[in-house]
Structure formats: C-alpha cells, structure tokens
Amino acid sequence: MIKSPSKYPANYKSIPALGRVSTGFGLKRPVLWAFLLILQIFTFAAAQGSDVEITLDVVAKKAAVTGSYTRNEVQAAKSNISFALGVAGVEGLGERIGDVRAFDADGAELLLRRLVAGEYLAPRPPVRWSYEIDLRPPANRLASPHVSWLGTSGGLLMLGDLLPFEGRRERSARVKIVLPKGWLAISTYGTGPDGTMIIADVSRAVVAIVRETERPIEYRSRRGTKYEMLITGEWQFTRADAEEMLGEIAEEYEKLFDRGPAEKVLVNLLPFPDGGGVGEWAAETRGQTVTIVSGDTPFKTQSSQRLHEQLRHELFHLWLPNGVKLTGNYDWFYEGAALYHSLKTGARLGRISFTNFLETLSQAATIEARMPAGSQIVSLGGRPSGNATGVYARGILTAFALDLAMQDASRGKRSMDVFLKRLYVENRERESEGNATILRMLGEAPETTLIAERHIKGSERLELGKLALPAGILWDGRRFALSEKPTGRQRAILRDLGYNSERRRPRYQNEK
C-alpha cells in the first residue's frame, strides 16, 4: 500500500485550528479565512514534503515502510533509492532491506536494479516506494544507541538509517508510525491529529518505541526547555534520583550557555537489547535526543553515579556540537570539552570527589602518553591523526590546560566556561568551519595562542609538569596530585574546578 501525498491537506497541523476559527468568525471574517487557506496551499505546493508510513511488527522485529520523495527533488532527476550503508562503525546496514518496490509519478511500477544491498537504481525518478526492513538488534551491543532496532521491551528508530534519504538534500518528512496495540512512539516532534510527526531532517530524528505503560519523567527548566526522560528496564537508582540529576545537570548547563538547548529534549535510557553488559554503556546525542544504552552496575551507589556521569556527558552535546552550526571535523574539541566540562561539573556539584577528578585526568594522561610521537589532534583540512581514544584523551587534557592558562593569565576573567559560552552563542546561527573558528578564538589571547600553536596545530606533547601548576596541582610522572599548600590564587582556580564541593554533598562521595 502506497500512501498518496495529496491525502494530507496543506500544512495540515494548522487546519483544525483554522476550522475552528471559521466557525467562530465564519461570518465576520470569511475573506481573511479564505486568504489564509490559499496561502497554506501555496506553501504546501512549494515545499511538497515526503510522506512516510512505518508499520512496526514488534514481535517479528521488522517494519514495512511506504513513502514518497518530495516532488521538487524528483524533478532534480534522482533515479536512485539509497539507504545508509554504515553508521558509527556498524557496516552492512543495507542487508536489512528487502522487497524494495518503486513507482513513478503516474503510479507505474519501476524495475529496480540493485547496485549493492541498500542502493537501488530505477530507470526513471521514483516518486513512491515501499520496502521491508529487518530491525533485529545489532550484533555488537555497543552499536545499539547508533542504529535502529527493536527488542522485547521496545527499541529505537533512528530515521537516518531507516529511510531512503541517503545523499538527498531534502530530508524533511511527515512520518506516521503504526504500532501494534499496547505500544507507543515517543519523540521530540510535534504530532498531528492522526499522530503524524513533522520532521525537518530525518537524519537527526530519533523515535523511542516503548510499552504504553511507560511514563517519562518530565522536567521543565527555568529557561523553559521541556525535558522528558524515558527510563526502560530495571535499574538500581530510583526515578526520584534520576529526576533530580536531570534537573540539576540541565540547570547547570543552561546557566553555563545562558540558554536552553531546544524547546524540547528527549532522554532515552534503556538496557542493552539482549540485557547484560554489566559495567558497559554506549550513548549518542542526535539532534535533541539523548540515547543511552547501558548495563547496570553491581552496586547501587555506582549505578546513580554512573547515570549522573552519562547525563553530564551526553546533555553537554545538546549545546556542543548539536546546538551550533560549526562544520568540519572538530571532535577533538567538542569531545575533549564534553569530557572535561562534565568532569568539572561532577566535581562542582559534589557528585564526584576532587580525588576522582584528578584520577580521571591522570588516566587521560596515561592514555595520551601511548599516542605515537608526532601525533596531532587536529590537522587542518584533513583528518586528525591518532586513534579516537588518544585524541579524546589529549582533548580533555588540552581543555584542562586551556582552562588553567586562561584563568591564570586573566585572574579568573577568562576560563573554559567563558570560552564555551562564547563559542556557543556566536555560532548558534552562523555557519563556519569548526577548527578555524576555535583556533581563531584561541589566537585572541597570548596564553591560548601558545597552547594552540604548540599542542593543537603542532604535535608537541603537553607539559604535564607545568600545565596544572596554576591550580597548585602537581604531576609526579604518573599522576596529578594537589600540592600541600596552594596559594590564594591557586585556591581561587581550585574552587572553580569544584575543589571542596563534595563536602556539601557527602552522600555522593566516591572515595574508594
């Protein structure tokens, strides 16, 4: 069954409201009403959107999908139907697709040629299509926050790998998900009267599939963002714990960036599809949706600490990189900053001890030391060298070094906090290259210029013995440790890093 796009009225979300207006003001304002309707039809014709219907079979873990491409794009004469073939290290995604059929504008079926699994070529531009997709969970459980799958207690639809929009510029769609009785689809998208979601870019869309009985935790921040957190499965932390953490971290980051990340945010926390994976977790923040797939921890205290750590890291990404229009590969920076700032936030909120804070940085230094000499975290115009773990380890240390250098040189006026806020505010709307923008900003002060030249653009190793001295933190060749008697100036920086905060919240102290 192929759905016709014309079944939907123009910008149909507004139609019921207009209908009510027309009965209320029918006689007084008929002209205005008609005019509005014409405008809406015009808008609809100009941007003929895609319509998609996804029918899920939760038991068999598969979906039947029907839909259409926008008419504009068809005129651009694209004759292929392409799916994402790999996402975040998961290859062979096209193998899940079967029974692909396509039709032209007149409804005639097109004979498709399969180029590879997930890539099809039609003799004429296809307008409508249908297929089936196998949604069994990925073999590697750590891939589960990155791809679509259905498990026994629900799953995830990552529309980027579920719909054939690969390589297409126009990726907006009206998506209807048809579920068996007893199941719900939850996302950040507004829905029309029949439950259809209006999605501006399917490649950033995530939909959680849960049982009808699941109720998300809701948190409305002071700056007005509506956060929903969906917790599937059994965990050792309580819902009250989770709610407190969500609110605490959201407010902390909204204060840092002076803005909520979006109108609506969805946080999905779910167990691995096949259960298990104690101690392991993987996550992705795509668009305005955070997805954490995790095993539990052996002990209750670890369980809440870990959730706090997961939320600190992933919620940060709602602002950086997801809230800015920076382009290119600058993950060394936003991952380094997410690791560093979430660590600092953990210490500031008293959720981790300062000893933990230093231990994590010491571990990063150990990992970083294994990077081959000459490795760079950024090479302009090319790919970063070194493996991701090494790059992120150097990323967090670089963020630490920048923070301390800035605070030391400016007596606290400049800091990583101030830098992150500025980067966010200045690039929310402006499209520019990420690395160039960050390096330009670092070039504005002598202390950061030096670090950028030698350790970011250059491949010189950070001098661990020196970088933490502004905070009175020493490197003994193996780990960072606090000096016996920090000076007043060092103490001011230590306070910014969250030193002593744990005393205010002893129950979360994490000394081993």
Looking at the Cβ atoms of 310 and 501, the one nearer to Zn ion is 310
Q: Is residue 256 part of the contact set for Zn ion (CB under 5 A)? A: no
Q: Which residues contact 194 (CB under 8 A, 6 or more apart)?
A: 176
Looking at the Cβ atoms of 174 and 312, the one nearer to Zn ion is 312
Looking at the Cβ atoms of 82 and 288, the one nearer to Zn ion is 288
CA 214 – CA 46 distance, rounded (Å): 40
Q: Is residue 133 part of the contact set for Zn ion (CB under 5 A)? A: no
Q: Is residue 122 part of the contact set for Zn ion (CB under 5 A)? A: no
Give the nearest distance from C-beta 142 to Zn ion in angstroms: 14
With CB under 5 A as the contact rule, which of the stretches 117-125, 332-340, 435-443, 458-466 interacts with Zn ion? Answer: 332-340
Q: How far is CA 501 from the centre of its chain?
A: 29
Looking at the Cβ atoms of 73 and 284, the one nearer to Zn ion is 284
Phi, psi at 36, each rounded to 5°: -60, -40
CA 147 – CA 342 distance, rounded (Å): 25
With CB under 5 A as the contact rule, which of the stretches 15-23, 114-122, 330-338, 411-419 interacts with Zn ion? Answer: 330-338
Residues 124, 56: contact at Cβ < 8 Å? no
Kindly determine how many residues on this chain lie close enough to bind Zn ion according to the rule CB under 5 A. Answer: 2
> What is the CB neighbour count within 10 angstroms for residue 373?
7
Q: Is residue 320 part of the contact set for Zn ion (CB under 5 A)? A: no
Taking CA 267 as the corner, what is the angle to CA 358 and CA 337, rounded to the nearest 5 degrees? 35
Q: Are strands 264-271 and 289-294 parallel, antiparallel or unpaired?
A: parallel
Residues 292, 283: contact at Cβ < 8 Å? yes
Looking at the Cβ atoms of 316 and 475, the one nearer to Zn ion is 316
With CB under 5 A as the contact rule, which of the stretches 54-62, 110-118, 335-343, 428-436 interacts with Zn ion? Answer: 335-343
Give the nearest distance from C-beta 134 to Zn ion in angstroms: 29
DSSP letter for 137, please. P
DSSP letter for 512, please. -
Looking at the Cβ atoms of 56 and 245, the one nearer to Zn ion is 245
Subset of residues 289 to 308 that bind Zn ion, contact rule: CB under 5 A: none
Residues 316, 279: contact at Cβ < 8 Å? no
In the complex, residue closest to Zn ion by CB: 338
Residue written as tokens 């803005």? 259
Residues 101, 111: contact at Cβ < 8 Å? no
Q: Is residue 318 part of the contact set for Zn ion (CB under 5 A)? A: no
Q: Is residue 315 part of the contact set for Zn ion (CB under 5 A)? A: no
Looking at the Cβ atoms of 69 and 253, the one nearer to Zn ion is 253
Q: Is residue 338 part of the contact set for Zn ion (CB under 5 A)? A: yes
Q: Is residue 84 part of the contact set for Zn ion (CB under 5 A)? A: no
Q: Is residue 163 part of the contact set for Zn ion (CB under 5 A)? A: no
Give the nearest distance from C-beta 338 to Zn ion in angstroms: 5
Residues 62, 133: contact at Cβ < 8 Å? yes
Give the nearest distance from C-beta 139 to Zn ion in angstroms: 23
CA 123 – CA 112 distance, rounded (Å): 7
Looking at the Cβ atoms of 53 and 335, the one nearer to Zn ion is 335
Which positions touch Zn ion (CB under 5 A)? Answer: 335, 338
